[in-house]
C-alpha cells in the first residue's frame, strides 16, 4: 500500500472554528417566521387507560393555535427492528412521562399553561417496574399485541403472552456436561443501573408542514434517515414527502437515534398552519428520552486444569422500559458478547429484552456491552482469584486471537486483543508494588458492530475543483465529517483542505443508517472511499482525453494529473474538473455504497453464523484506584485505555473519543444512577444525577493499537464506543485488589462499598462495625 | 421595561421584563446564540458569560441584575478570522467535540487566566467544574487552557 498522506494525520477539524466562536448552529438556535412553540402533556401514571381527554379548555387560552392528542395521529408505530411505539399514547399510557397531548402556542409559557388545562381522565392499570416483576407468571402485559407488531424476525423474537420482546439464544456443545467436567465452576449474579445520556443539547426539532403536503423537519438527531422513516410511519405519509435536515448536534451517545418530538411537532404544524419548534427541558430529557438499559446478568463459568475456560453459561436480562426503541438490538448484540472476548469451549447464552412500565431504554454508547462486560470481567477476576491465577495471565491464556472462533462460530481475523492487554498492563505497572489502599486491574474490551448496516455516499467535484462529499452523516461531535474528508482526500489524491463534507439533508443525501455503532468511519467511510475512487477514475478519463494518453499511464497525486514518467504532460486537478464541465465526459460525480452481503442471520436455535456482524473491536482497560475504607470513596488515580482502532484516521480524534468515552464510563461506574420509585424517576435533575466534572476525571492515557482491518479502506475501524465498556469492571476489580471486597452491582457508590466492607466482616483490619446500614431502596 | 446592558462593549437597550433570565435577553432579545441553554438550573454551565469579568450562568441571572453592567459573551472576545488565544488553543488541541459547552468553557478559561495567568492543572480542573462537558473527558480542554496560558505568557495575544 502506498504511504498515506492525509489519513493518519492529526488534521484540525473543519467544524471547530465555528464551534469555538459560538457560531455553530444547533437545532435549538433555529427560528422561522411565524414559528410557534410546542409543549407536551405527559402521563402521570406508569400504566393507565386514557378514558377521556378534553382539549377544549386549552384551546380557549389566547395564543394557543393547536392541540393534538394520541387519536389525532393515524395508527402508525415506529421502532428499530420492532415497530411498537406510537408517537403519542393512544388509549393506554405505559410510562410516567409518555406524551398524551401537545399544544402549539405563541410561546413556551402559553403552551405549557395550555397543557395544564387539558382534562384527562385515567384508569390506572397494574404495572411492573422491574425485570423480575415483568417476568412473573401473573404479570400484567404491557403489549398484548406484541406478536402483531411489525418486526425483523432475524433479530427480534418475542415470546407469546409475556413481556419478553426479544430472546436470543446461542448454543455450542454441551454446556452442562462441560461445567460438570470443569475443575472449578464460578457462579455469579450482576446488576447494572439506568444511565442518562446527558447530551448537553437536549432533543430538539423544528417542523414545517407545507400546504402541498411536504414536510420539512430540522432535527437534533444522529440518524436523519431513521427520523425520516419514524416520522413518515407516525403520520402515515410517504417517506419521500418528509425532508430531514440536521444542523450541528450537541452530543448524541445513542440518545438521538429515533424520534422524540418530531412527529408531534409535525402534526401540530399541520394543524396550526405554522412552523412549530419543540425542545426538551432537561427534566424531560430524564423522564422522556431514552436511557441505558438496566440489566440483570447471571453467569456460570468453568475452568479446566490448565486454566482454560471450558464452559460458559450466561443469562442476560435487559429492562427496556415501556417500548423497545433499540432494546431488541441491545439484547441481540450482547448475545454475541455474553462470554466476552474469550475462547470458552461449550457455551449457552440467552439474552432477553423485557418490557416494564418505565421510561424506554434504548441505544447508548456500547449497546449493552458495558453492562455485559461489567459482569463478564468481574467474573473473570473471581475465577482468577479462586484458581490462584494472575488475572491478566488468565485473560491472555483465554483471549481470542486470529483464527479463533467466536461463540457464534465466526472465524476472526485482525484481532488486536492480546496486544491491547499487554500494552495496558505494562502501562499501568501491572505486577509492580503499589501503595497501601491502592488497587489495580486490567480488563478486556470487546464490541460488535451493527449487522446489515447500509451506507452510501456521493463525491462531486465542482467546477472550481473543490470536492464535496454528500452523505447522511450527522456531525454529532465525533469528528466524523473530518474523518470522511480525510478518507476522500486520500482516495482522490487531493489535500484535506480541498474537501468539504455537507451537513445531512435527506432531500439530497443518499441513504445512510446513521451515526451509531461506530459505523460512520467504517461503513460510511467505505462508501465515501468507493465514491472517491469513482470520481478519481472519471477525472483520469478526462485527463487521458486531454493529454492523449491511456488512463493506465496516468497518475493523480497532490492534485496533479500527469503521464507517468513524463511529468511535463500534466493537468491540474482544477483544470481537469473544469474541462469535465465544458468538454470531456461531464461533471465529475462518484458514488459509493457499502453493503454487507456476507452477513448471515443467527440460527434461531443455536445462534450460529459464519458472519454475524461486519466486525468486532477489541481493547483493554487498566486503572489504578485508591479507596478510603472509612468513607467508601474511590479515587481513580490512573487510567490507561488501549483500543484497536485499526488505522487511525486522525490520532487526535481517536484520543478524544477514547478519553470522552472513558469519562462517561467513570460516571457510569461511580456516580450515575437514575433512581425510580414506582416507575417515577426520583432524581431527574443534574443536581440529583451528577455527571463527572473536570476534577472528577483523572488524566486518561489513551493508546491507539493499530491493527488494520483487512477489508476497510486503509484498514480503518471506528473507536467511539469501546472506551466506555471496560471502565466499570476495571474499577470494580481494582477496588477488590485494594480492599478485598466483591462488588456485583453498579454504580460503585460509597454506600455500596461500605456495605460490602461490612459484609466482608469484622475480621478485616480497618473495617468498622458501627457503620449504620445504608438506606436500602428495596 | 427597557433594560440598558453593555454587551461586548456596546450599549444595548432591550425591551424585556427584568425578571426574565439574562440568557433569554441574550438569545432572544439580542440574537447572541453562543450562550446555550442546557439545563435552566445553573448546573451545566453551557450558558456561561462574563458579568463584569466574572463567570456567571446566564440562565439563573435575572436580566434586571445585569442592568448597567458589562456582559461579555463568546461573540465579544474575538472578531473575524483572528481568535482569542484560548479559542486557538481549543481548536489546535482538539478540545472541542460537539461544541455545545465550548463557548461557556472558553469564557470560563478566559476568566481563570485573568485571575491566575499560570494555573496548575488542578486549578484549571477546579475552575471549570461548573462547566459540564459530556464529550471530551476534559483532558484536551485542560491541555488547551494550559497551552493558552503559556501562549499568553509568551505574549501570544493581547486579549488578557
CATH number reported for the structural domain that contains residue A418 in this entry: 3.30.365.10
Average pLDDT on A713-739 reads 96
pLDDT over threshold 70, residue A705: yes
Average pLDDT on B60-72 reads 94
Report yes or no: A253 at the B interface, CB cutoff 8 Å.
yes
Examine residue A121 and state whether it is found in any structural domain, yes or no: yes
Structure confidence at residue B157 (pLDDT): 52
Q: How far is A635 from chain B (nearest CA, A)?
A: 15
**Judgement on whether residues A559 and A611 belong to the same structural domain of the protein:** no
pLDDT per residue as tens digits for the range B100-142: 999 999 999 999 999 999 999 999 999 999 999 999 999 999 9
Going by the DSSP 8-state scheme, the letter that residue B64 receives in this structure is: G
Report yes or no: A149 at the B interface, CB cutoff 8 Å.
no
Q: How confident is the model at residue A774 (pLDDT cuts 50, 70, 90)?
A: very low
**Judgement on whether residues A657 and A629 belong to the same structural domain of the protein:** yes
pLDDT per residue as tens digits for the range A224-266: 999 999 999 999 999 999 999 999 999 999 999 999 999 999 9
CA distance B10 to A98: 46
pLDDT per residue as tens digits for the range A292-316: 999 999 999 999 999 999 999 999 9
Contacts of A663 in chain B (CB under 8 A): 136-138
Percent of chain B with pLDDT over 90: 89
Would you call B91 and A20 a contact, using CB atoms and an 8 Å cutoff? yes
Q: How far is B104 from chain A (nearest CA, A)?
A: 9
Q: What are phi and psi of A162, to 5 degrees?
A: -150, 175
pLDDT per residue as tens digits for the range A629-667: 999 999 999 999 999 999 999 999 999 999 999 999 999
| Nearest chain B residue to A198, by CA | B134
Would you call A693 and B132 a contact, using CB atoms and an 8 Å cutoff? yes
Q: How many domains does chain A have?
A: 3
**Judgement on whether residues A635 and A677 belong to the same structural domain of the protein:** yes
pLDDT over threshold 80, residue A2: no
> Which of B135, B136, B147 has the highest number of chain A CBs within 10 A, making it the mutation to test binding with A?
B135
CA distance A506 to A227: 10
Contacts of B39 in chain A (CB under 8 A): 282, 685-686
Structure confidence at residue A449 (pLDDT): 87
Cβ atoms A673, A486 nearer than 8 A: no
Cβ atoms A203, A261 nearer than 8 A: yes
**CB contacts < 8 Å between A and B, how many?**
170
**Judgement on whether residues A534 and A677 belong to the same structural domain of the protein:** no
Contacts of A28 in chain B (CB under 8 A): 36-37
Q: What domains lie within chain B, and their CATH numbers?
A: 2-75 (3.10.20.30), 85-153 (1.10.150.120)
Considering only CB atoms, A663 lies closest to which of B90, B122, B137, namely: B137
**Judgement on whether residues A49 and A102 belong to the same structural domain of the protein:** yes
Which of residues A564, A594, A624 is at a domain's end?
Answer: A594
Examine residue A141 and state whether it is found in any structural domain, yes or no: no
Would you call B39 and A691 a contact, using CB atoms and an 8 Å cutoff? no
Alpha-carbon B68 to chain mean position: 19
Could you tell me the CA-to-CA distances from A235 to A83, A85, A103, A263 in Å, in that order?
14, 13, 17, 7
Report yes or no: A2 at the B interface, CB cutoff 8 Å.
no
Would you call B135 and A251 a contact, using CB atoms and an 8 Å cutoff? yes
Q: How confident is the model at residue A761 (pLDDT cuts 50, 70, 90)?
A: confident
Q: How confident is the model at residue A767 (pLDDT cuts 50, 70, 90)?
A: very low
pLDDT over threshold 90, residue A710: no
**Which residues neighbour B44 within 8 Å (Cβ) at sequence distance 6 or greater?**
A200, A282, A686, B38, B101, B131, B132
Going by the DSSP 8-state scheme, the letter that residue A214 receives in this structure is: -
> Which of A21, A480, A703, A704 has the highest number of chain B CBs within 10 A, making it the mutation to test binding with B?
A21
Would you call B132 and A20 a contact, using CB atoms and an 8 Å cutoff? no
Q: How far is B140 from chain A (nearest CA, A)?
A: 7
Examine residue A686 and state whether it is found in any structural domain, yes or no: yes
Q: Which domain holds residue A739?
A: 291-450+602-760
Q: How far is B98 from chain A (nearest CA, A)?
A: 4
Examine residue A585 and state whether it is found in any structural domain, yes or no: yes
Average pLDDT on A147-169 reads 97
**Judgement on whether residues A219 and A80 belong to the same structural domain of the protein:** yes
Examine residue A171 and state whether it is found in any structural domain, yes or no: no
Report yes or no: A655 at the B interface, CB cutoff 8 Å.
yes
Structure confidence at residue A335 (pLDDT): 97
Examine residue A69 and state whether it is found in any structural domain, yes or no: yes
pLDDT over threshold 70, residue A420: yes
Examine residue A173 and state whether it is found in any structural domain, yes or no: no
| Nearest chain A residue to B130, by CA | A693
Examine residue A145 and state whether it is found in any structural domain, yes or no: no
Contacts of B37 in chain A (CB under 8 A): 28, 279
pLDDT over threshold 90, residue A492: yes
Would you call A248 and B98 a contact, using CB atoms and an 8 Å cutoff? yes
**Which residues neighbour A145 within 8 Å (Cβ) at sequence distance 6 or greater?**
none
Report yes or no: A661 at the B interface, CB cutoff 8 Å.
yes
Amino acid at each position: 500500500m502506498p504511504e498515506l498522506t492525509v489519513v493518519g494525520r492529526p488534521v484540525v477539524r473543519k467544524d471547530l472554528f465555528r464551534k469555538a466562536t459560538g457560531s455553530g448552529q444547533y437545532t435549538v438556535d433555529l427560528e422561522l417566521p411565524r414559528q410557534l412553540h410546542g409543549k407536551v402533556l405527559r402521563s402521570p401514571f406508569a400504566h393507565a387507560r386514557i378514558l377521556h381527554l378534553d382539549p377544549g379548555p386549552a384551546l380557549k387560552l389566547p395564543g394557543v393555535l393547536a392541540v393534538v392528542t394520541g387519536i389525532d395521529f393515524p395508527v402508525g408505530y415506529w421502532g428499530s427492528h420492532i415497530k411498537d411505539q406510537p408517537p403519542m399514547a393512544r388509549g393506554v399510557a405505559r410510562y410516567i412521562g409518555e406524551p398524551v397531548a401537545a399544544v402549539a402556542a405563541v410561546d413556551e409559557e402559553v403552551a405549557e399553561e395550555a397543557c395544564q388545562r387539558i382534562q384527562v381522565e385515567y384508569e390506572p392499570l397494574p404495572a411492573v417496574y422491574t425485570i423480575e416483576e415483568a417476568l412473573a407468571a401473573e404479570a400484567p402485559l404491557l403489549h398484548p399485541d406484541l406478536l402483531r407488531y411489525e418486526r425483523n424476525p432475524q433479530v427480534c423474537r418475542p415470546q407469546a403472552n409475556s413481556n419478553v420482546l426479544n430472546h436470543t439464544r446461542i448454543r455450542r456443545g454441551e454446556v452442562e456436561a462441560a461445567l460438570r467436567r470443569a475443575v472449578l465452576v464460578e457462579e455469579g449474579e450482576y446488576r447494572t443501573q439506568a444511565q442518562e445520556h446527558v447530551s448537553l443539547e437536549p432533543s430538539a426539532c423544528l417542523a414545517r408542514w407545507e400546504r402541498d403536503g411536504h414536510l420539512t423537519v430540522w432535527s437534533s438527531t444522529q440518524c436523519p434517515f431513521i427520523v425520516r422513516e419514524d416520522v413518515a410511519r407516525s403520520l402515515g405519509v410517504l417517506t419521500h414527502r418528509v425532508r430531514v435536515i440536521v444542523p450541528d448536534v450537541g452530543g448524541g451517545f445513542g440518545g438521538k437515534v429515533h424520534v422524540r418530538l418530531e412527529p408531534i411537532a409535525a402534526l401540530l404544524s399541520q394543524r396550526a398552519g405554522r412552523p412549530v419548534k419543540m425542545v426538551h427541558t432537561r427534566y424531560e430529557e430524564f423522564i422522556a428520552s431514552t436511557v441505558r438499559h438496566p440489566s440483570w446478568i447471571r453467569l456460570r463459568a468453568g475452568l479446566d486444569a490448565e486454566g482454560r475456560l471450558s464452559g460458559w453459561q450466561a443469562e442476560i436480562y435487559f429492562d427496556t422500559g415501556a417500548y423497545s426503541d433499540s432494546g431488541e438490538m441491545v439484547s441481540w448484540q450482547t448475545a454475541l458478547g455474553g462470554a466476552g472476548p474469550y475462547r470458552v469451549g461449550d457455551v449457552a447464552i440467552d439474552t432477553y429484552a423485557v418490557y416494564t412500565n418505565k421510561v424506554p431504554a434504548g441505544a447508548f454508547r456500547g449497546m449493552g456491552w458495558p453492562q455485559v462486560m461489567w459482569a463478564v470481567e468481574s467474573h473473570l477476576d473471581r475465577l482468577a482469584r479462586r484458581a490462584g491465577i494472575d488475572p491478566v495471565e488468565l485473560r491472555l491464556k483465554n483471549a481470542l486471537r486470529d483464527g479463533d472462533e467466536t461463540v457464534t462460530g465466526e472465524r476472526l481475523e485482525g484481532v488486536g486483543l492480546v496486544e491491547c492487554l499487554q500494552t495496558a498492563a505494562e502501562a499501568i505497572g501491572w505486577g509492580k508494588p503499589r501503595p497501601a489502599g491502592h488497587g489495580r486491574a486490567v480488563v478486556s474490551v470487546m464490541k460488535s458492530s451493527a449487522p446489515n448496516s447500509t451506507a452510501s455516499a456521493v463525491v462531486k467535484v465542482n467546477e472550481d475543483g473543490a470536492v464535496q462529499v454528500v452523505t447522511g452523516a450527522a456531525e454529532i461531535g465525533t469528528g466524523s465529517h473530518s474523518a470522511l474528508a480525510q478518507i476522500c482526500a486520500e482516495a482522490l489524491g487531493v489535500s484535506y483542505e480541498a474537501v468539504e463534507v455537507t451537513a445531512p439533508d435527506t432531500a439530497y443525501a443518499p441513504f445512510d443508517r446513521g451515526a451509531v455503532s461506530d459505523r460512520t468511519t467504517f461503513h460510511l467511510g467505505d462508501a465515501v472511499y468507493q465514491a472517491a475512487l469513482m470520481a478519481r477514475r472519471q477525472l483520469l478519463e478526462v485527463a487521458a482525453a486531454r493529454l492523449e494518453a491511456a488512463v493506465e499511464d496516468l497518475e493523480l497525486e497532490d492534485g496533479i494529473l500527469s503521464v507517468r514518467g513524463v511529468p511535463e504532460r500534466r493537468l491540474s486537478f482544477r483544470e481537469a474538473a473544469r474541462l469535465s464541465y465544458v468538454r470531456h465526459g461531464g461533471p465529475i460525480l462518484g458514488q459509493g455504497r457499502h453493503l454487507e452481503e456476507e452477513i448471515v442471520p443467527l440460527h434461531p436455535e443455536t445462534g450460529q453464523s459464519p458472519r454475524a456482524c461486519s466486525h468486532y473491536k477489541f481493547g483493554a482497560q487498566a486503572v489504578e484506584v485508591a479507596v478510603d475504607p472509612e468513607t467508601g470513596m474511590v479515587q481513580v488515580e490512573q487510567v490507561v485505555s488501549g483500543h484497536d482502532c485499526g488505522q487511525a484516521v486522525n490520532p487526535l480524534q481517536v484520543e478524544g473519543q477514547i478519553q470522552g468515552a472513558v469519562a462517561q464510563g467513570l460516571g457510569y461506574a461511580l456516580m450515575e444512577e437514575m433512581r425510580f420509585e414506582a416507575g417515577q424517576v426520583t432524581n431527574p435533575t443534574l443536581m440529583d444525577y451528577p455527571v463527572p466534572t473536570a476534577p472528577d476525571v483523572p488524566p486518561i492515557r489513551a493508546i491507539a493499537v493499530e491493527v488494520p482491518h483487512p477489508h476497510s479502506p486503509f484498514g480503518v475501524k471506528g473507536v467511539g464506543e469501546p472506551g466506555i465498556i471496560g471502565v466499570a469492571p476495571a474499577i470494580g476489580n481494582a477496588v477488590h485488589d485494594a480492599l478485598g471486597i466483591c462488588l456485583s452491582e453498579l454504580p460503585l457508590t460509597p454506600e455500596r462499598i461500605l456495605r460490602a466492607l461490612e459484609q466482608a466482616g469484622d475480621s478485616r483490619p480497618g473495617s468498622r462495625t458501627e457503620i449504620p446500614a445504608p438506606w436500602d431502596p428495596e | 421595561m427597557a433594560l440598558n446592558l453593555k454587551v461586548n462593549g456596546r450599549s444595548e437597550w432591550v425591551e424585556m421584563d427584568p425578571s426574565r433570565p439574562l440568557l433569554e435577553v441574550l438569545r432572544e432579545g439580542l440574537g447572541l446564540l453562543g450562550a446555550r441553554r442546557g439545563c435552566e438550573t445553573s448546573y451545566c454551565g453551557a450558558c456561561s458569560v462574563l458579568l463584569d469579568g466574572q463567570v456567571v450562568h446566564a440562565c439563573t441571572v435575572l436580566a434586571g441584575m445585569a442592568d448597567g453592567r458589562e456582559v461579555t459573551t463568546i461573540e465579544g472576545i474575538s472578531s473575524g478570522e483572528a481568535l482569542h488565544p484560548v479559542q486557538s488553543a481549543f481548536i489546535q488541541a482538539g478540545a472541542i467535540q460537539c461544541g455545545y459547552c465550548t463557548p461557556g468553557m472558553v469564557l470560563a478559561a478566559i476568566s481563570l487566566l485573568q485571575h491566575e495567568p499560570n494555573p496548575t492543572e488542578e486549578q484549571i480542573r477546579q475552575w471549570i467544574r461548573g462547566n459540564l462537558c459530556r464529550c471530551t473527558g476534559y483532558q484536551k480542554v485542560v491541555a488547551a487552557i494550559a497551552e493558552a496560558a503559556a501562549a499568553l505568557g509568551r505574549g501570544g495575544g493581547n486579549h488578557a
